[in-house]
Amino acid sequence: MWERSKLLGGTRMGDAYEPGTPFILYGMKNGGTLTPDMTGGDNPAEKTVLLTQECTDDGGVWVAIGDDGQVVDTLSGPIAAMLAEAEPSDFPAVVSWASVPTKTRDKATVLNYLGAYDGPSEPENVPPEWGSY
């Protein structure tokens, strides 16, 4: 009964970060598959869960803001495809997100790589929900 609610729950990436705003991406996990009846579409959608943290560019060096990580999610097909190809060495990285036009749909959400992050491999305070995925 609660499966749809659990899969659709969480903080959406677009609610946590404005398009083009840099953030640290520490890792990605599969958050589950939403069936077409859950999404209202014709195809299933993969939920991708990201461990992130706000950051800023301090004279060419990316610096984390605060100590708290944030778990965000997205239903983006291109981001789910990135997860399938991700290697541990791909993290952490500084990224931003954007909506881009596609040939088959109006828009798709993508991650843009902005640079390597040379700080710790995870935020000082990892949210407990990160371990539930």
Number of domains in the chain: 1
Residues of the domain holding 60: 3-36+44-126
Closest CA to 44 of 71, 80, 84: 80
Helices and strands, number each (H, E), in the chain: 4, 6
Query: Could you tell me if residue 133 is inside a domain?
Result: no
Query: Could you tell me if residue 64 is inside a domain?
Result: yes
Query: Could you tell me if residue 131 is inside a domain?
Result: no
Give the amino acid at 2: W
pLDDT tens-digit series, residues 81-98: 999 999 999 999 999 999
Query: Could you tell me if residue 121 is inside a domain?
Result: yes
2 three-class SS: coil
Res 5: pLDDT: 64
**Could you tell me if residue 57 is left (phi over 0), alpha (psi between -120 and 50 degrees) or otherwise beta?**
beta
pTM, two decimals, is 0.90
pLDDT in tens, the chain (133 residues): 566 666 667 899 999 999 999 999 999 999 988 777 776 777 788 899 999 999 999 999 999 999 999 999 998 999 999 999 999 999 999 999 999 988 877 788 999 999 999 999 999 999 999 988 7
pLDDT tens-digit series, residues 68-78: 999 999 989 99
Query: Could you tell me if residue 132 is inside a domain?
Result: no
Taking the C-alpha atoms of residue 62 and residue 41, their distance in angstroms, rounded to an integer, is: 39
